[in-house]
Structure 1
Amino acid sequence: MSHFTHKRLKGNFAVLLFWLFFVGAQGLVFGQYKPYQDLGPLFEDVQLSGLFPDSKTFPDCIPLAPPTQIAQAYQREKSLPGFDLKRFVMQYFKLPTEPTTHFKSDPKASVEEHIQALWPVLTRRPVPEQSSLLPLPHAYVVPGGRFREIYYWDSYFTMLGLQVSGQTELIQNMVDNFTHLIQTTGHIPNGNRSYYLSRSQPPFYALMLRVLAQEKGKSILKQYAPALQKEYDFWMAGSQELSAQNPAARRVVRMPNGVLLNRYWDDDPSPRPEAYKEDVAVAKASDRNPQQVYRHLRAAAESGWDFSSRWFGDGQGLETIETTDFIPLDLNALLYHLEMTLAEMAQLNGDKAEARAFMQKAKNRKQALLQYCWNAQEKFFYDYNWVKNRQSTAATLAAAFPLYFCMATKEQAAGVAQKLARDFLQTGGLRTTLVHTGQQWDAPNGWAPLQWISIQGLRAYRKNELADTITARWVHQNLAVFKETGKLTEKYNVEKAGQEGGGGEYPNQDGFGWTNGVLLRLLKDGTFKRK
C-alpha cells in the first residue's frame, strides 16, 4: 500500500469516527444539522452582528465540534473579558467549502464553448460534510457564486442547456436527486440545505420529467408517477380542512366559487436563517406583527421572486409585503401542468378513472384561473388577492405562464403579446415588472427563466415575430456582457445595452446555471442570427 493511499484511508476513517460521534452526540440524521436551531443564541448573535457581509455564509459554515458543545462554549465564554465573536466563530467553524477551481474564461472561446467548459465547474459530487447541506446520492449542477447547493426551479432551466450538451445522465442524476428529496423530506425544498426544508419553489419537477422523457422515452413518466403524486400532495396539503368559513390552509385557498387554487407559503414564521439580519430589519420597519412579515418574506422566497413589487401591498416597499394573500399566476399554471401530467401518467398506467379525475382537477383550475386572473379591460393576466377579493394591479411577466401551458384563449394570448411588446420589451429583452423599486425581481432586471417562458408561450400562439425579437435582444444582451466580462450572470439590466443586473439582497452572481441553460437552448433553436 502506498503512503498516499494509507493517509487517505486514515483520513476517511477519521471522518467516519467524527460522524459516529457527531450523530451519536446530537441525535441527528446525517446532513440534518440546523444551525438556527442547534446553535441557540450564538446563531442570532452572529447573524445580527453582521460578522459576515453575506448572511448566507454562517448558515453554510461547517461546525468543527458538535453544535451543543459549541453552544455551551459560547454561553461560558461570551461574558469573559476580551471575548471576540469573530475569533470564537473562526475557532469552532470552517468557512463554507468552495470548489477548488482555477477556471478562467478563454477570450478566444465562443459562448457555447464557454458554457460547455463551465458544466464540470458547476457540477458537485456527493461529499460527506457535517454542515447544513442535505446529502444527495448523485452529482448535480449548482447555479454558481454564493449558491453552493442545488436549487429547485433553477435546475429545470439548467437542464435545457444540459440537454443541448448531451448531458443526459447528469439530467437523470438531478431528477433522481429531486426524487430522493421528495421521498426523504416529503417535497422538493427550495435547495438542499436544512434551512430550506420549510418551503419549496415553483413546482417544475413535472417539466423536468418531460425533459428526461424526451431523451429516454415516455416510460419515464410511469416510473416517476409516485414521486410526482407525492409532490402534488405536498402542494395540496390542508385542502380537506377548507370551507367557506375557513378558506385557506397552508398552500391551498378555497375560492368563492368553491374551486381550489394555490398560493406560496412557508411553514416557519421566523426570519430566514440565510437572511436573518435583513428580515429582522424589514419586520421592524413594517410596524406589523413580525411573524406575519416573516411568513410573507419566506413565501416570496418560495416563489423564487425574492423580492418584487408583485408581492407588495403598496407596490413599492418591501415592508408592505403580503405574499400569502395572492393567488399567483405562475404557481397555478405550473400546478395545472402537474395535474395534466398526473392524468397522463394514470392513462399510461391504464387507470382511466384516475386520469379522468386529474383531467377534471386541471380543467377546474384552468377555468378558475381565467375567471379570477384575466382582466378583460387591460387584456392581461394579473395575480389575484384573495384576501382583498380583487386582482392585483401589478403587471408582471408571470402573465406569460398561462400562454406557456396553453391555458389562454387566442384572444387572451393576443392581448398579452400586445402588452409585452408595448410595455415590457426593452433593448436587452423583457423586464420583469414595470416599476423600479431596487428589488431584483423588478425593472430594470430581466431573468433567463422568464425570457424562456415568455418566448415559448408566444410561440405556442404563433406570435413568432415577437418571440424572435425577444430572443434576439436577450441573446445580444448576454453576448455583450460576456464579451466585456467573460461571464454569464444571474440577471441583466435589460433597459441598457450590455449591462448586468443589480438590486436586491446580494450582488449579481456569475456562473450562472439558468442563464447558461436558456442561452444555449436559444442558440440551438436557430432563430437567433449572429451579426
Structure 2
Amino acid sequence: MKISLYIDQAFRELLLQEDTDQDKRITVDDKGPKKFVLKSSTVEITIVGTYFLSNLLQELVLAKENNQDFIETESIFELPANRISRMIRDYFWDGLTRTLDEKGLEKLLKDSKSKTKNPIIYIPYTDNFSLEYFQKIAPKFNLKVIRLPEIISPEYVSSINDEGGILALALKTEGQNIEGYPFVVPGARFNEMYGWDSYFENIGLLIDNKLDLAQSMVENFDYQITHYGKILNANRSYYLTRTQPPFYSSMIREVFEKMPVKNTKWLGEKLETCIKEYETVWMENGKRLTENGLNRYFAQGIGLPPETETGHYDDILKPYAEAANLTIFEYEKLYYQRKIENKTLDVYFVHDRSVRESGHDTSYRIEGNCADLNVVELNAMLYKYETDFAELIASHFDDNFDYKTKMYNQKYWTEKAESRKKLINQLLWNDQECCFFDYNFKTQKQNVFLSATSFFPLWAKIATQEQADKMVEKCLPKLVYLGGIAGCSEESLSYIGKDQMLRQWDFPNGWPPHQIIIWQGLIHYGYQTKAQELIYRWLWMITKNACDYNGTVPEKYDVVSASHKVFAEYGNQGTDFEFISREGFGWMNASYQYGLHILDDNLKNELNKLTSPEDLF
C-alpha cells in the first residue's frame, strides 16, 4: 500500500523518538519505545520493533532523495532475507561500482590514499591509447600523468611509495566517447579494484544478472595481466610488485557460462591471458615456484608496505629502535627511507608483503614465514587453473589451443594437474591429522595449523572421497560455530598469549571467501546437508545483524558470538554509515546472494523467521 505523508516531518519525529544514542540509525542499542505511529491524512499505521522501524527510516531517506511524498508499506514490512537480497541487488552493487575515466576520476583520485597535492595516475609503458586519453583530460582534474618505465623494479616502486598514485585500468570506445570498464570495489572507502575480492564479487553479480558488469571485471583483469604483468593486489602504485590469489580461470569460466550466446573468441582471448599469468607470474623458477614443484606467495618490494596504518609495526620495530637509542617513529622513518640497514627486518617484510599478497592479511598461520610456505589454498587454486585449462580446451577448442608458438591440449594440462595433485598429497596431506596443511619447504616440515584454507582441496576437487570424509568428520567440527566457519580453529591459536592482538583472518572471525569455498567443496563430495547447514548459519548471522543494526552488512563477523562487532586489527568495513547502508561490503554481498541462491526453500522460510541455527541443527 502506498501512503502519502510529510516525509521530512516523519523523518524528524522518528529519529527524535527512536534514535536515542543519536548515531543516525535505529538499532537494538537504542532505548526508545520501539513503537511509532506513522500518520497520513487517510490512515495511521503502527510500526513496532527495531527491524521494521529501521526499514521505515531507510524508506523515508530514499523517499527524500527521490523527492517523493509517499512510501510503500510493503517495503517497511518486507521479510528480512528478501529485503537484504533486494537491497544488495538494487542498491549495493551500484554503490560499489566505479569507473576510471573522465566521469569517475574525481572520486577515485581525491581520496585518503592520494598523498600528493596533485593526484597522480600512472599509465603502463605499453598503453599509448590510455596515455593520450589521460593527458588530454588531465588539466580538468589538475592531474599528473606519469608513464611507467618498461621495467618495473622494486627499487622504482619504492621510489614512488610516498606519492600514492592510482594505476590505469582498461578503456573502451563507445561511439564517440571513451569510457572505462566499470569495476566493483570492496567497500565504500575503497576506490581501487582489488584482486580476489573481485572474483567473489563476480559470483554475486552473476546471480543478480549483472553480466555486463561481471564481464567488465574480467576485462580489467585482462588489462592488468597484459600491461602490468599480473593481477594486482589493487591498482595503486605501491601494489605494482604484488599479486593476489589466482581465481582468474574460475572468473572467466563463470562469465562465459552465463553468456546467452557463447562467445568463444572472447573465451579464447581470456584463456590466452590466463595462461600467460599462470606461466609468468606463478611458474617462473625461483620466484613463486619453489624447487619442490609447488608454489608459494612471494611479493617483492623494499621495506615497510606504505599502505599500512601508523603504529602497525610498533611491536616489530621496538627492539631495534631501543638498540639504536631512537624512538620507534624515528627508527621507522629512517628504515623506511633506507637510511638504516637491517637485513633481519628486510626478511621479515618479504614475509609480511607475501602475507598481503595471499589476501590473508593478517593471520598467525603465515606470519613471519609466508614466503617459505607452499600454502594449501594457492596450490589448490593453481590445480584448478590446470584442470580449467584442460576442460576448456577440450570442450571449446577441439582439444587444440594455440598459445604463442605452442599448441596446448587437454592431455598437457591434465598431466600438469596430476603432477601437482601428487605433490600436494605427498607434502601437504597429513594422514594422522586427516588434513591438508601448509608445507615449509625450507624446514621440510608441515605447519600443523588448522585453517579454513585446509578445505580448498575439496573446492578444487583434489581430495579423494576418503580424504574428504575424514576431514568432514575430524576437522570441520573444529571450525563450525553459531554463525558459520571461523578462519581457523581455536586450538591452532593455543600458543598465542592473552596480550597478543587477534589477527583478523583467524578465530573467531569468519570471512565470505572461506564460507563459499567450503560450501562448494562439501557439495562436490556429496555433503549437501552439511553445506545447507553452514549456508544457513552464515545467512542467519548476516540477516540477524542487519535486522538488529539498521541494515548493516559488514566485511567480516565474529562467528562465535554471531556479531559484526569484531575485536581485531583494521576494524570492520561496511559499518560506518548514516540512516541507510549504501554498499554493504562486496564479497559479503556476494556470499549472501550466492548462499540464498542455493539454500533450500524450507530453510529460506526459517531464515525469514530468524530461527536460530541451534534450534534447527
Give the drift of 1:229. Answer: 1.4
Greater Rg over alpha carbons, structure: 2
Pick from 452, 455, 466 the counterpart of residue 400 of structure 1: 455
| Structure 2 CA distance for partners of 1:500 and 1:462, relative to 1, 3 Å | farther
| 1:351 aligned partner | 400
Q: Which residue of 2 aligns with 1:523?
A: 596
Which AA in structure 2 matches 1:360? E
Match of 2:585 in 1: 512
Deviation at 1:237, TM superposition (A): 4.8
Distance 1:222 1:466, change over 3 A: same
Contact 1:143 1:514 survives alignment (8 Å): yes
Indicate whether 1:264 and 2:297 are aligned.
yes
Structure 1 position 405, deviation (Å): 1.0
In the alignment, the residues of structure 1 paired with residue 516 and residue 588 of structure 2 have an alpha-carbon distance, to the nearest angstrom, of 10
CA distance in 2, matches of 1:149, 1:450: 23
1:125 matched to which residue of 2? Answer: 99
Segment of structure 1 superposing worse, 507-516 or 204-213: 507-516
Mapped to 2, the partners of 1:365 and 1:286 lie a distance apart of: 42
| Larger RCO (CA under 8 A, 6+ residues apart) | 2
Specify which of 522, 539, 544 is matched with residue 480 of structure 1.
544
What SS is found at the alignment partner of 1:289?
A: helix
- Which of these residues, 87, 91, 97, is aligned with residue 114 of structure 1? 87
Listed as ranges, the gaps of 5+ residues in structure 2 are 1-63, 67-74, 110-118, 121-164, 172-180, 321-342, 402-406, 494-500, 576-583, 607-617
Distance in 2, matches of 1:476 and 1:228, equals 37
Match of 1:467?
531
CA contact (8 A) 1:269 1:292 kept: no
Partner of 2:209: 166
Aligned counterparts of 1:286 and 1:236: Cα–Cα separation in 2: 36
User: How many residue pairs get matched?
Assistant: 408
Q: Residue 438 of structure 1 corresponds to which residue in structure 2?
A: 502
Contact 1:429 1:446 in 2 (8 A): yes
Corresponding residue of 1:202: 245
The RMSD of aligned alpha carbons is 2.2
Partners of 1:445 and 1:475 lie apart in 2 by 15
Bigger CA drift: 338-347 or 208-217? Answer: 338-347
User: Is the contact between residue 490 and residue 509 of structure 1 (CA under 8 Å) also seen in structure 2?
Assistant: yes
Q: Which structure's residues are more often helix, by fraction?
A: 1
Q: Which runs of 5 or more structure 1 residues have no equivalent in the other structure?
A: 1-100, 240-248, 313-320
Secondary structure, aligned partner of 2:290: strand
Question: How far apart in 2 are the matches of 1:357 and 1:385?
Answer: 28
8 Å CA contact 1:327–1:383 kept in 2: the answer is yes
CA contact (8 A) 2:187 2:573 kept: no
C-alpha distance in structure 1 between counterparts of 2:241 and 2:315, whole Å: 20
Once the two structures are TM-superposed, the CA of residue 182 in structure 1 deviates from its matched residue by 0.8
- Do the aligned partners of residues 470 and 228 (structure 1) sit closer, same or farther apart at CA in structure 2, a change above 3 Å counting? same
Moved more, 133-142 or 425-434: 133-142
In 2, distance between residues paired with 1:214 and 1:500? 38
1:13-412 counterparts in 2 under 5 A? Answer: 110-116=83-89, 117-127=91-101, 128=105, 129=109, 130-131=119-120, 132-136=165-169, 137=171, 138-216=181-259, 217=262, 219=264, 220-239=266-285, 249-255=286-292, 260-275=293-308, 277-278=310-311, 280-285=313-318, 289-312=344-367, 321-347=368-394, 348-349=396-397, 350-351=399-400, 354-355=408-409, 356-412=411-467
Q: For residue 450 of structure 1, what is the aligned residue in structure 2?
A: 514
> C-alpha displacement at 1:422, in angstroms?
2.1
Percent identical: 32
Q: Are the aligned partners of 2:554 and 2:572 in contact in 1 as well (CA < 8 Å)?
A: no
Distance 1:218 1:525, change over 3 A: farther
Letter paired with 2:250: L
Mapped partners of 2:304, 2:481: distance in 1: 36
Q: 1:107 deviation in Å?
A: 6.2
In structure 2, distance between residues paired with 1:298 and 1:278: 17
The answer to whether the 8 Å contact 1:141/1:513 transfers is yes
Report if aligned partners of 2:167, 2:235 keep a CA contact under 8 Å in 1: yes
- Over residues 423-472 of structure 1, what are the superposed CA-to-partner deviations in whole Å (9 max), with x where a residue is unaligned? 11000001011245511001000001100100110110011221111111
Tell me if 1:492 matches 2:465: no
Cα–Cα, structure 1 residues 375 and 123, in superposed 2: closer, same or farther, change >3 Å?
A: same
Superposed CA deviations along residues 83-111 of structure 1, whole A, max 9, x for unmatched, are: xxxxxxxxxxxxxxxxxx989xx865510
- Quick one: structure 1 residues 102 and 389, their matched pair in 2 at CA, closer, same or farther if it must change by over 3 Å? farther
Cα distance in 1 for residues equivalent to 2:319 and 2:366: 14
Q: Work out whether residues 380 and 460 of structure 2, in 8 Å CA contact, stay in contact via their aligned partners in 1.
A: yes
Contact conserved, 2:373 with 2:441, CA < 8 A, in 1?
A: yes
Corresponding residue of 1:82: none
Distance in 1, Cα, partners of 2:567 & 2:227: 36
CA distance in structure 1 between the partners assigned to 2:412 and 2:364 by the alignment: 37
Q: Say which SS state the counterpart of residue 261 (structure 1) adopts.
A: coil
> How much does 1:415 deviate?
1.4
Q: What code does the residue aligned with 2:423 have?
A: A
One-letter code aligned to 1:503: A
The CA deviation string for residues 380-434 of structure 1, in whole angstroms up to 9 with x for no partner, is 1111111110111111011111000111001100111123442110000010112
- Distance of aligned partners of 1:412 and 1:134 in 2 relative to their CA distance in 1, 3 Å threshold: same
> TM-score w.r.t. structure 2 length?
0.63
Comparing 372-381 with 106-115, greater Cα deviation is found at: 106-115
Alpha carbons of structure 1 residues 369 and 284: separation in structure 2 relative to 1, 3 Å: same
Give 1:276 deviation, angstroms.
Answer: 6.3
Decide whether the 8 Å contact of 1:491 with 1:502 is kept in 2.
no
User: How far 1:358 moved relative to its partner?
Assistant: 2.0
Question: Taking structure 1 as the reference length, what is the TM-score of the superposition?
Answer: 0.73
2:428 partner amino acid:
C
For the 8 Å contact 2:485–2:559, the answer to whether it is kept is: yes
Alpha-carbon separation, structure 1, partners of 2:478 and 2:283: 38
Q: Distance in 2 between matches of 1:430 and 1:512?
A: 18
Q: Encode CA deviations 1:122-175: one digit per residue, 9 max, x unaligned.
A: 111223443312222311111113332111101111111111111000011111
Counterpart amino acid of residue 521 in structure 1: Y
Contact (CA 8 Å) 2:229, 2:281: kept in 1 or not?
no
